[in-house]
Amino acid sequence: MRILIVEDEPELLKSIKSYLTQNNFLCDAVDNVREARDYFLDTAYDCIVLDITFPVGNGFEILRKLKELKKSCGVLIISAKDSLEDKLIGLELGADDYLTKPFHLPELAARLHAIYRRRAFGGDDLLIIDKLVVNVQDKYVKTESGAIDLTRKEFDLLLYFISNKNKVVTKQSIIDHLWGDKADMTDNYDLIYVHIKNLRKKLLERGCPDYISAVYGMGYRFSTVTPIPAI
Amino acid sequence: MRLVVKYNLYSVSVMILVFIISSVGAYFLIKSALTKELDISLLRVKDRIQTYIDRNHALPVLNSFDDETVSFQPINKKNAEISFTTVQKYIKEQHKFHISRRLSYHTSVNNQNYFITITSPLEGTRHMLIALFNITLATIFILISCVLLINRIIMGKLWHPFYASINQLHGFNISKPHQLNFPQTNIKEFNFLIENLKINTAKSVESYQILKEFTENASHEIQTPLAITQSKLDLLIQDDGLSSEQSEHLVIAYQALKRLSKLNQSLLLIAKIDNLQFHKKSPIDLKNKLEYKIKEFGELWASKSIEIKVDLSDAYIDASPELMDIMLNNLLSNSCKHNFICGSTNIELKHGNLKVINTGQKQSLNTQKVFTRFYKESHDPANNGLGLSIVKKICDQSGITPVYNFSADKDEHIFTLIW
């Protein structure tokens, strides 16, 4: 999956590029609107991660240009502006999703995967991860030994883990992902503990190895290879 | 009090006063003119008597048919003085006293001195007084009616540009500035007012724009370093070589970062509400909305084994849907956050009021400060003390009165919204 990251803040740009590269994305990174244009004219990207505010020009310009050129790449806006107006303008101009800064890098990866899946397969695809077969559109998961009955939250959680395979995701980022706007309403990490416990149990029951491991007090890691034992 | 009423009050009182003074003045002037006229007629009678005496050397025969009554009184001394006096005289025919004018003087007939008095009733004065009083009353009444009527019509016309301008201002919304159509007028004062209104509304719109931009810029400026820090932490935790101690530090750093970003978001939200950025109102079915929210929050309450009692009746409110959402989220999440394990939450919705009652700490919050910014009862890092001040702001903007009570016998905190 080929990604173009357009973000004027060099350190954030580096972080995003680094995380997404580790996550098996093929990333190009630019820090201004002009160069961004050159990049997407030359290369067919699956998705563009686009900031809105720049010292010169703005992200909406790029969106307009993409529309004009009928480029069929997905766009994920990352903006510091949490304003409905901007969101609406962005989505109207053809952006697929809108993420407000600050965000968790795993969240960014999950959203990019979602956009990619929607665009590439119209959502009608099967993800095969080790022993798991995941149908994203119909929201079901099965293994060789049959379907796994997951709740909506457990399914979302699994998909989030899959989008951040082998990466540590924090409890907070899981809460933010699962509860979205409502995430602020709780500071109770027990809530996700229950979901994770159930998910793990259900996966184990269907003959999967224990994919999910806790990483100290920080969070969890989903890994199809045997996790490196804690030191 | 309306200006025209106040104006009328002053002008009518002055008018009444002026009329009373002028009537009193007129009364005295007319009275003195009448007296003078009467004095002259008394002198004419005196002349006629004198002529008679001079011709006949005898006192005239008294004729009582006339208004004038004349009396002769022989006296010894002779005095040349002539005097006019006003006296009360008893009139037999009318059985009452009457004010009369009397001329008294001395004369001598056949070497006998006489004291002569000629008295004539001052007939007109009483009637004149009544007439004057009536005239004054009628004039005052007619004049006041005219003045009031004219004021009403003219003032209405004159003040039209004023009310039209105020109406323009009434419909003015700083976050949605449209062209204000102030009326044209040739009245200098109103032009001055309108000119100033134009300048000031333009200024406010400009300040509002600047403030809005500042708010958004501030948000951008703060969010970006937050985003950088967040992303660096997200990368850092991927390191497999972290010790458990380092991990602990990272968890704390994450939490602090979360607090900071939440604080920033809350302050921005307050600024946005202050800037009236959520002014679009629409009728909201609160019962429906609450049912949905309660479902959403169910899991959160369940995680603390909080017992939920819900009693919802139909209720509607005209408000911004986004604000109502934020407000209900804040209230419901408070009822969970500040509750204890196995506590309870009651939600009662009735027409015109919503109550969220939850168990919690065993003492009342400070009722004076509970809705102010950064009010915290205890040092709780997860609580930035802005939730209820956001609720208050939203209430203020949506015409809702928020009330906090504490029920000491049940240790329940009661938040009531009345609209």
Q: What is the pLDDT of residues B351-364, one digit of tens each?
A: 889 999 998 888 88
Of all residues in chain B, what percent carry a pLDDT higher than 70? 94
On the question of pLDDT at A16 being above 90, the answer is yes
Task: Tell me if chain A has a CB within 8 Å of the CB of B167.
Answer: no
The interface residues of chain B toward chain A in range 268-297, judged by CB-CB distance below 8 A, are 268, 296-297
State the pLDDT at residue B253.
Answer: 92
State the pLDDT at residue A47.
Answer: 92
Residue of A15, A53, A184 lying closest to B262 (CB–CB): A184
On the question of pLDDT at A230 being above 50, the answer is no
Residue of B220, B240, B303 lying closest to A191 (CB–CB): B303
Distance CA A13, CA B190 (A): 59
CB contact under 8 A, A19 and B235: yes
* Interface residue of A58, A182, A215 to substitute, partner B, most B CBs within 10 Å: A182
Distance CA B371, CA B69 (A): 95
Inter-residue contact B166 to B185 (CB < 8 Å): no
3-class state of residue B298 by DSSP? helix
Using CA coordinates, name the residue in chain A closest to B299.
A191
Q: For residue B319, give the amino acid letter.
A: A
Torsion of CA B30, B32, B34, B39, to 10 degrees: -170
State the pLDDT at residue A29.
Answer: 94
On the question of pLDDT at B92 being above 80, the answer is no
State the pLDDT at residue A231.
Answer: 46
3-class state of residue B100 by DSSP? strand
Q: Which residues of A touch B299 (CB under 8 A)?
A: 191
**Separation in Å, CA of A79 to nearest CA in chain B:** 8
Going by C-alpha positions, the residue among B163, B152, B170, B151 that lies closest to residue B193 is B163
On the question of pLDDT at A228 being above 60, the answer is no
Q: Which residue has the tokens 């890994």?
A: A223
State the pLDDT at residue A220.
Answer: 92
Distance CA B412, CA B154 (A): 62
On the question of pLDDT at B303 being above 60, the answer is yes
pLDDT averaged over every residue in chain A: 86
- Angle subtended by helix axes A10-22 and B188-236, to nearest 10: 40
Task: Tell me if chain A has a CB within 8 Å of the CB of B265.
Answer: yes
CB contact under 8 A, A102 and B223: yes
On the question of pLDDT at A203 being above 80, the answer is yes
Distance CA A127, CA A145 (A): 17
**Separation in Å, CA of B238 to nearest CA in chain A:** 6
Q: Which residues of A touch B390 (CB under 8 A)?
A: none
Check residues A4 and B369 and name the one with the higher pLDDT. Answer: A4
On the question of pLDDT at B290 being above 60, the answer is yes
3-class state of residue B353 by DSSP? strand
* Interface residue of A100, A184, A198, A228 to substitute, partner B, most B CBs within 10 Å: A184
Average pLDDT over residues B190-197: 89
On the question of pLDDT at A191 being above 50, the answer is yes
Distance CA B210, CA A114 (A): 38
Residue of A11, A191, A231 lying closest to B299 (CB–CB): A191
Could you tell me the pLDDT band of residue B65, with boundaries at 50, 70 and 90?
Answer: low
Average pLDDT over residues B219-244: 88
Antiparallel, parallel or unpaired: β B316-319 and B307-312 = unpaired
Helix (H) or strand (E) holding B145: helix B124-158
State the pLDDT at residue A131.
Answer: 85
On the question of pLDDT at A185 being above 70, the answer is no
**Separation in Å, CA of A136 to nearest CA in chain B:** 23
State the pLDDT at residue B239.
Answer: 87
Average pLDDT over residues A61-90: 86
Could you tell me the pLDDT band of residue B2, with boundaries at 50, 70 and 90?
Answer: confident
> What does pTM read for this prediction?
0.65
Inter-residue contact B230 to A104 (CB < 8 Å): yes
On the question of pLDDT at B321 being above 50, the answer is yes
Inter-residue contact B3 to B159 (CB < 8 Å): yes
State the pLDDT at residue B132.
Answer: 77
Q: Which residues of B touch A100 (CB under 8 A)?
A: 223
CB contact under 8 A, B297 and A185: yes
Task: Tell me if chain A has a CB within 8 Å of the CB of B61.
Answer: no
State the pLDDT at residue B381.
Answer: 65
Residue of B223, B254, B300 lying closest to A80 (CB–CB): B223
Average pLDDT over residues A172-195: 78
Q: Which residues of B touch A53 (CB under 8 A)?
A: 220
Inter-residue contact B247 to A217 (CB < 8 Å): yes
CB contact under 8 A, B247 and A83: no
Average pLDDT over residues B196-222: 82
Could you tell me the pLDDT band of residue A104, with boundaries at 50, 70 and 90?
Answer: very high
Q: Which residues of A touch B270 (CB under 8 A)?
A: none
pLDDT averaged over every residue in chain B: 84
Task: Tell me if chain A has a CB within 8 Å of the CB of B305.
Answer: no
State the pLDDT at residue A4.
Answer: 94
Using CA coordinates, name the residue in chain B closest to A15.
B231
On the question of pLDDT at B97 being above 80, the answer is no
On the question of pLDDT at B81 being above 90, the answer is no
On the question of pLDDT at A119 being above 50, the answer is yes
Using CA coordinates, name the residue in chain B closest to A176.
B258
State the pLDDT at residue A27.
Answer: 93
State the pLDDT at residue B389.
Answer: 87
CB contact under 8 A, B238 and A22: yes
State the pLDDT at residue B123.
Answer: 67
On the question of pLDDT at B93 being above 80, the answer is no
Average pLDDT over residues B72-90: 79
Antiparallel, parallel or unpaired: β A140-143 and A132-135 = antiparallel
Task: Tell me if chain A has a CB within 8 Å of the CB of B303.
Answer: yes
Distance CA A188, CA A183 (A): 10
Check residues B107 and B377 and name the one with the higher pLDDT. Answer: B107
